[in-house]
Amino acid sequence: MSQKNSTVCTEEGQIQTVELEVERDKLPTFVGIPNLLLVATIDGVNDRKMVRVLVSQHRGYIFIQTDQPIYNPTQQVRYRIFALNHAMRLHDDTFHISIFNAAGNRIMKTLVKAPDGIFTDAPFNIPDVSEMGVWRIVAHYQGDEKNAVTREFQVKKFVLPSFEVTVKPEQSYFLLNTEKLTFTILAKYSYGESIKGAFHCRFGVKEKTQGPDGEKEKIVFIRGLELTGLIQAGEGSAVLQESKLIELLKSKLNTTLSDMVQSKAQLYMAVSVTDIISGELQEAEVSLPVVSQRYTVDLSRTRSHYIPGVPFSVVVVVRLPNGSPAVGEPVRMHLPELQDEVQTVKTNQEGAAWHDFNLPNLDRDITVKVSITK
């Protein structure tokens, strides 16, 4: 297993050092022997000393890197392997590389040499019909299978994260005699990153129709009423001019905004956003009721009679056209036949406002006047 070296001791008790190198090419033939015998003899003396020396095939360390952790079928896997000695320095050596698929089958095995301790020359392609799951790259020094190193990576079909488009109108309704209405268009990936791209808007009339199968919604687009623009930092803006809307409603659909109020039709907007980087397209839509008044005023909580000499409570509930409460709106109340002073009260979170009026002793009808000014 090694050459025989000799040394000379001239005095009793003298210590000498001898270096022996185990010949590596002979080790594979003794794989099953965990140790070797070191034998020392003295010329002319019929005696020898022996000691068992543990044999280790571990010749250093191996590190494996892949260019990404996840691959699609048909993609190329690029990797590199670093071979280090016991001093953690790069060194030339020979080692085996094996590739195992998700089913545990070895699809490649090769014996390579790492010049200067780095091997990068064997990328491979994942077959199109490969089983999805965890694949492995396994490497070990020649004759050192027990100290193999493994690098895992995933093979699965994946796509770029999708993004979401949201449309926020300036208000939740379209009021007659509104000069313009601004729509804010927001586009972001699911993980929060903003989109850079372009948008295209179309407008139409959305109404409910009664058919043999029940009530259905019908959308008729207004030809020529389209808006385009850019999405910067995930945001864009589209401004709809009322004059343009009125003109095209009359010429293309032979209707008016007042007709839409009467039929309870809605103004419909559909927007498409294209990501300039990936080319992906996502859509969103919004429908707004067309109304002639900004608020609805409800006096049903106010009593229809009063008791002379007892304070009379006027309760008002104000709602927006979509039915939600109008919060923080100033409500003006007064009794025009009895008092000149006008009481102004702001609505609460439920859209309600109230005030108690002190009434004189009288036995005739009174009028309560309520108004909201914006």
- CATH classification at residue 131: 2.60.40.1930
Residues 137 and 243 in one domain: no
pLDDT above 90 (res 143) = no
- Work out the pLDDT band at 363, boundaries 50, 70, 90: confident
Residues 212 and 267 in one domain: yes
Residues 69 and 145 in one domain: yes
Instruction: Please tell me the distance from the alpha carbon of residue 269 to that of residue 266, in angstroms, as a whole number.
Output: 10
pLDDT value at residue 28: 56
pLDDT above 90 (res 100) = yes
Asked if 181 and 169 touch (Cβ cutoff 8 Å), the reply is yes
Number of domains in the chain: 4
Residues 341 and 364 in one domain: yes
Residues 70 and 120 in one domain: yes
- Work out the pLDDT band at 148, boundaries 50, 70, 90: very high
Tell me the two tokens of residue 15. 């210590």
pLDDT above 80 (res 47) = no
Pick from 271, 291, 311: which residue ends a domain? 291
**What would the mean pLDDT of 151-176 be, rounded to a whole number?**
87
- Number of helical H runs and strand E runs in the chain: 2, 26
Residues 2 and 96 in one domain: no
Residues 107 and 175 in one domain: no
Domain containing 90: what range?
61-155
H-run or E-run covering 204: strand 197-211
The pLDDT tens digits for 176-234 are 988 999 999 999 988 788 899 999 999 999 998 877 777 888 999 999 999 999 999 99
Q: Mean of the per-residue pLDDT values for the chain? A: 88
DSSP per-residue string spanning 205-271: EEEEEEETTEEEEEEEEEEEEEEEEEEBTTEEEEEEEHHHHHHHIIIIIS--HHHHHHHT-EEEEEE
Pick from 262, 291, 320: which residue ends a domain? 291
User: pTM of the predicted model, to two decimals?
Assistant: 0.53
The pLDDT tens digits for 17-41 are 888 877 766 665 555 556 778 888 8
Residues 203 and 262 in one domain: yes
